[in-house]
Amino acid sequence: LFLNAGMRVDANSTFGDDVQVEAYPKFGASYILSDEVFFQQALGAFVNTLKLRFAYGQTGKFPEPFRH
């Protein structure tokens, strides 16, 4: 079982000083099912490697440009 977690922080000043810092989390997990004995006995002759993977993350949008 492999787990990972992270955080991306964006603060783009391209559109002015009023842009707030935004934090976007990400999480993931993967499991190599084909390493299990029951898998090797049942499907090992047909499938060499099988990994299950889950990932979740958030992202943001560019801020609206300021109008003059």
* Residue located via tokens 């003059």: 68
Name the amino acid, one letter, at 68. Answer: H
Name the amino acid, one letter, at 60. Answer: G
* Residue located via tokens 């993967």: 30
24 in helix, strand or coil? strand
Q: How far apart are CA 46 and CA 41, in angstroms?
A: 10
8, 23 contact by CB (below 8 A): yes
- Greatest Cα pair distance in the chain: 69
- Full-model pTM: 0.64
Q: List pLDDT tens digits, range 5-32.
A: 999 888 766 656 777 788 899 999 999 9
